[in-house]
Structure 1
Amino acid sequence: MTNSIVKTIFLALTFVSSMIHCQEKLSDKYNLMPWPQEIQSNANRVKIAKDFTISINKKEGRVYNYATNIIRRITNRTGVFVDQGFPLLNDKNATVRVSFDEVAELKLGVDESYELDVNNNFVEISAKTDIGALRALETLVQLIDHNENSFFVNGVVIKDNPRYGWRGLMIDVSRHFHPVEVLKRNLDAMASMKMNVFHWHLSDDQGFRFKSDTYPKLHELGSDGLYYTKPQIRDIVSYANKRGIRVVPEIDVPGHATAILAAYPELGSKDGYDYKIERFSGVFHPTLNPINPKVYTFLDNLFAEIVPLFPDVYFHIGGDENEGKHWDENHEIQKFKNKKGFKNNHDLQTYFNIKLQKILAKYDRKLMGWDEIMTDGMPKSAIIHSWRGVNEGFKDGTLIEAVKKGYQAVLSNDYYIDRVQSVDHHYLFDPAGDVPLTKEEESRVLGGEVTMWSELVTPLTVDSRIWPRTAAIAERFWSSKEVKDLKSMRKRLAVVSFQLEELGITHLSYRNQLLRNIAKSKNTESLELLTAIFEPLKIYTRNEGGTEYKTFSPFTLFADACVVDAEDAYNFNLLVDSYSDNPTTEKSEELKGYFSKWKEGHAKFKKLKNNPILNELGNHYENLSKVSSIYLEILKGGSLSKSKGNEIKETIEKLKKPMVDTELVIVSGMEKLLKKLKKEGSIK
């Protein structure tokens, strides 16, 4: 290697390093999410006053109405009374001047790039498409800052575009139905985070949510009266389109079809089976019969009715978790398999899927399905939706297998937010992973999709499970792969979380309603303290086996009031780490503040009028107060006997046990603190 090449590589690495360092510093100043591809700070500021205006270069497309909403959001946030409440056209003196070249067709690969430049007294936004302009307007809102005298747009120059073209959120409306207003507020939140695909999971074992004129029994017998009409679906699709969001419907077949078969049992694989809507969660045996011609007539007619409502070229057919038990028990199906030379049920499902692919092709639609559809005979035009991290044949996961085999693929593995895992876990997981790919293979990784399965969420709680973590995942889909500093992410996410409330997201406000119900009182402070250190049980250990809860069980419990990344727990554990490395008086005082708060919280809790729900919380709260009291004594200079130290350990062991489907997530910090205090000699 020549010296000149070495020098070039060194300079390139130095440039990349300086860019990353610069971004880290800028993230202290700007609370942008997703983080832009290119960003430079400047000293300019554009004040938001009564003469604030937005001008666009043309009224066609999505920008005019979107900009109108942006003006409302800005005035609501700042409290400024503006003189002009609607966008102007081609006003060269406007505060914000938006120009775009063309009105884009909403499809995979549409140009979403934009440039934003904050000058001395105006903001200039330019984009190739109206959708790019929408993304820029969301960045504009995030740039709003203030001092004691005024609100203003912070000075910056941004050139931005998404890393991936598929940045989705799936909401399952089958396990629990979510009304139109719930979907709309989540579409607003998606747009604010520059997400662009809403995957609408419309059918499953627990409900079929489309009102069909062709097959009315589907909603009459398969929905419990909870479904979307065609006007409602058109409304949602239009609402999403105006925000630059594609809508991909899913009708899950051949498995997860109990609700369909409750309406039309003659399409099932097991004669005489008593098909009823499922009330539990899990994987069930009812399956469409792949050798019955009536099944394909049914699906053809159903797709013919549904497809016109969804202009997107992709149609999701599910195809997951079909164990084929009813296929194995059907002698006619077994004969058919032998006649066709099918070795297993995967071959039979491929036969089924290819027939669906041909039906959808008649309506100019492309098939998408969960990764079980990826079999040898599946055409490469299908999109593989990867939900399994590892399968038996490919150690790096089904997405990597798919792109190496020539399929386009979307990743959902590790973006399953219903598993209630920490935001850190999701944020650090990249759609393409770290497996070496050729440029062609990498181009087949379309992006990722957050999945909100609804077994354990209702319209009241669903926002708290989706947000704010999905905002961080949206950054993973949009921003450079190198943008992955957890401290920066959490700092910016804390601001974004509050801003999501402006859009109607209820992930913060819902909790007080639940706590008032639990306490049977408006005095919920003691319970709020608990929700800041308890988290729901993770990765399906709540409702293990799918049989603790039914779809109509109460989801107004303490576990529903708790969220992932409990704020006090996170900060307490960080404080313990810092104290263990470098104990100071200031840190000791902070620790005492936490223990005092939990001790006093228990005293307030005991003043509440008892009820059966509170009884379940009482023992844990008492043990928490007990440990807090002992730690307070130690941190105040007390010296305890070995037996007292053992009492602490025994009490912590009790606190490790799950409490009403939650876990106390400060126990590791408490154990680490005990170890540190022993080392210091505080415990004799």
Structure 2
Amino acid sequence: MDLGTRGVSVAVLAATVLLGHGGPVRAQPAAATATHDLMPAPARLAWQTGQLVVDARFTTASTGTADPRTESALARARGRLESQARVSLSPRPGGARATLVVEATGPGLAVQAAGEDESYTLTVTPKQARITAPNPLGVLRGLETFLQLARSEGGRTVVPAVTITDRPRFAWRGLLLDPCRRWEPLEVVKRTLDGMASVKLNVLHLHLSEDQGFRIESKVFPKLHQMGSDGLYYTQDQIRDVIAYARDRGIRVIPEFDMPGHSTSWLVGYPELGAVPGPFKLVREWGVFDNVLDPSREEVYTFLDRFLGEMAALFPDAYLHIGGDEVTPRQWDASAGVQDFMYRQGLNDQADFHAYFNKRLSEILTRHGKRMVGWDEILRPELPRSIVVESWRGPKALAEAARLGYDGILANGYYLDLLHPVAEHYLSDPIPADTTLTPEERRHVLGGEACMWGEFVGPENIDSRIWPRT
């Protein structure tokens, strides 16, 4: 099974299992109860009468605004339909009378953005299917819905007649991969992107630094990957390939470089960044460890400015994640230099010291054209409202951020490594029904993110951990 087929297969399984509809969707009159196994559920769906048959006469065409993503998506769709229907399908360039016609009425953004329009309309009749969207991104989402509708029935592949009008509830629908604790090669990342596209997830969060490994090439500071990775890291060319592969599927790629804690892999090659003298060794077990960067030293910010500038140029997305979670202050407490710095700066405790570091980081990232994202420990009212808070400790932290005017993302309740029942994930909602947030505060809730932490997964079992839960 090739990478694309495998990624799509597990994602489509998610659609079937999570919604509990294992049987085929049959063509129904419009008045019938609208049941389906689409993932995610579309905003509006109305069944019509009849079905469209996928056979050797089935053709595809793209009209409207030209975009390479549209043509690539149509080619992938034909491949999946050919595999399902066991027929050979051909495009019909410019053919408005093709069996499946997609039309983007306008262009997409040069760099896909959070909140970019993903809406589409899908109409299927017994003679033709048509997807219309404001941009190529909406076309991609509509094609995935069409492909989920296709099923085998009576020895044929058919698509039930239907009218769907759809747009996402949340702009941020993410999945975190952690290749630091257990290495995940490039083919795993790509087949995960295939699965994400199938269920319309739109953010790949790559956790690229940890106590156990630094997983990206730095040409400015090469000892980061040379000494901090055991030789297992993504080259910058591979990252560019991942970004292009993701964009082709309507997915943004956001890197995370965890600091000031979870930072042993930084310190193996550059011990001068630490709060205590080295040498340092990569951590070979799991947990929370004492090694931290030293925010009292100006050289640390000079280093981070150059490194983050390099990464900002590599990753085109407007957001960059700095971690900021689970900082153990013992080394700061033991450092005379840190204690003196805190006294001179009027910082009362380690929380103030951490906030000072985060404020300096946000200023660096702003200069490089990025918005800072961090786990909910970074939330402090003195930080600029441009930062984004990712809540792993609970929905209360997300609500607090929204009330303070910060954008936020919910990760709590979506930790895939914990193997919670699917029903438990469904009980988590970025904006629950009983929320007390005002309409204005709700606009700060960008969405949610499933987290596949890497302690107990590798290439051999990661698919079964991500899907069908995500």
**Same-fold status (TM-score > 0.5):** yes
CA distance in 1, matches of 2:299, 2:195: 42
Cα shift at 1:221: 0.8
The structure whose residues are more often strand, as a share, is: 2
Cα deviation for residue 23 of structure 1 reads 11
Q: Is 1:95 aligned to 2:91, yes or no?
A: no
Q: Distance in 1 between matches of 2:96 and 2:60?
A: 10
How do residues 201-240 of structure 1 correspond to structure 2 at under 5 angstroms? 201-240=207-246
SS in structure 1 opposite 2:373?
A: strand
Distance 1:415 1:296 in 2: 33
The aligned amino acid for 2:34 is L
Matched residue type, 1:49? D
Q: State whether residues 61 and 103 of structure 1, in contact with CA within 8 Å, keep that contact through their aligned partners in structure 2.
A: no
Partner of 1:14: none
1:351 to 333, 342, 356: 356
Which one-letter code corresponds to 1:56 in the other structure? S
The letter for the 2-side match of 1:74 is L
Distance between the aligned counterparts of 2:155 and 2:293, measured in 1? Answer: 66
Q: Distance in 2 between matches of 1:398 and 1:192?
A: 31
The Cα shift of 1:307 comes to 1.2
For 1:236 and 1:128, the matched residues in 2 are separated by 26
Q: Against the structure 1 CA distance between its residues 138 and 49, is the aligned structure 2 distance closer, same or farther, given a 3 Å change threshold?
A: same
Give the corresponding residue for 1:573.
Answer: none
Q: Quick check: 2:32–2:47 contact (8 Å CA) kept in 1?
A: no
Write the distance in 2 (CA, Å) between the matches of 1:291 and 1:240.
38
Alignment partner, residue 464 of structure 1 = 464
1:289 aligns with 2:297: no
Measure, in 2, the Cα distance between the counterparts of 1:135 and 1:328.
51
Q: Is the 8 A contact 2:84 2:157 kept in 1?
A: no
Question: In the alignment, what sits opposite 1:437?
Answer: 437
Asked whether 1:331 is paired with 2:336, we answer yes
**Structure 1 residue 24: Cα displacement:** 10
Equivalent residue, structure 2, for 1:81: 88
Letter of the 2:83 counterpart: N
Q: What SS does structure 1 have at the residue aligned with 2:409? A: strand
Task: String of CA shifts for 1:267-309, please: whole Å, max 9, x gaps.
Answer: 10012x4411001111000000001111111111111211111
Amino acid at match of 1:427: Y
Q: What letter corresponds to residue 290 of structure 1 in structure 2?
A: P
Where 1:318 maps in the other structure, the secondary structure is coil
Instruction: Write the letter of the residue equivalent to 1:301.
Output: R
Higher percent of residues as helix: 1
Distance, in Å, in 1 between the alignment partners of 2:285 and 2:173 is 30
**Offset from partner CA, 1:7-59 (integer Å, 9 cap, x none):** xxxxxxxxxxxxxxx999422xx321111110001112111110111111143
Q: How many Å separate the matches in 2 of 1:404 and 1:339?
A: 32
Q: Tell me the secondary structure at the aligned position of residue 353 of structure 2.
A: helix
Alignment-derived partner of residue 75 in structure 2: 68
Contact 2:381 2:404 in 1 (8 A): no
Q: State the match for 2:6 in structure 1.
A: none
In structure 1, C-alpha distance between the alignment counterparts of 2:101 and 2:351, rounded to whole Å = 56
The SS at the match of 2:321 is strand
* Equivalent of 1:46 in 49, 52, 66: 52
Tell me the SS of whatever aligns to 1:176: coil
- C-alpha displacement of 1:204: 0.5
Write out per-residue CA displacement over residues 375-396 of structure 1, whole angstroms, 9 at most, x where no aligned residue: 131111000010001xxxxxx6
Partner of 1:26: 34
Q: Runs of at least 4 residues of structure 1 off by over 6 A? A: none
Deviation, structure 1 residue 75:
0.7
- Residue pair 1:53, 1:94 contacting (<8 A) in 2 also: yes
- Matched with 1:275 is 280
Instruction: State which of 225, 250, 255 in structure 1 corresponds to 2:256.
Output: 250
CA contact (8 A) 1:410 1:445 kept: yes
User: In structure 1, what is the Cα distance between the partners aligned to 2:68 and 2:126?
Assistant: 29
Structure number with larger C-alpha Rg: 1
CA distance in 2, matches of 1:23, 1:32: 19
What letter corresponds to residue 460 of structure 1 in structure 2?
A: E
CA distance in 2, matches of 1:274, 1:169: 35
Structure 2: which 5+ runs fail to align?
Answer: 1-29
Matches within 5 A, 1:257-656: 257-271=263-277, 273-389=278-394, 397-433=396-432, 434-470=434-470
- Give the partner amino acid of 1:380: R
SS at structure 2 position matched to 1:469:
coil
Q: Which amino acid aligns with 1:263?
A: G
Please report how far the alpha carbon of residue 176 of structure 1 lies from its aligned counterpart in structure 2 after TM superposition: 0.8
Letter in 1 for 2:393: R
Deviation at 1:88, TM superposition (A): 3.0
Which runs of 5 or more structure 1 residues have no equivalent in the other structure?
1-21, 390-395, 471-684
**Once the 2 structures are TM-superposed, how far is the Cα of residue 101 of structure 1 from its aligned partner?**
1.4
Question: How much does 1:463 deviate?
Answer: 1.1
SS in 2 for 1:302: helix
Match of 2:7 in 1: none
- Quote the Cα distance in structure 1 between the aligned partners of 2:199 and 2:92: 25
Q: Distance in 1 between matches of 2:201 and 2:233?
A: 25
Could you tell me which residue of structure 2 aligns to residue 635 of structure 1? Answer: none
Deviation per residue, 1:51-100 (Å, 9 max, x gap) = 11111114324111111011001111121233x1xx33321220011111
After TM superposition, the structure 1 stretch with the greater mean CA deviation from structure 2, 167-176 or 331-340, is: 331-340
Q: Contact 1:44–1:118 (CA<8 Å) still a contact in 2?
A: no
- Looking at structure 1, the residues matched to 225 and 205 of structure 2 have their Cα atoms a distance apart, in angstroms, of 20
**How many residues are matched?**
437
The share of aligned pairs that are identical, in percent, is 43
| Partner AA of 1:436 in structure 2 | T
Q: For residues 355 and 463 of structure 1, what CA distance do their matches in structure 2 show?
A: 38
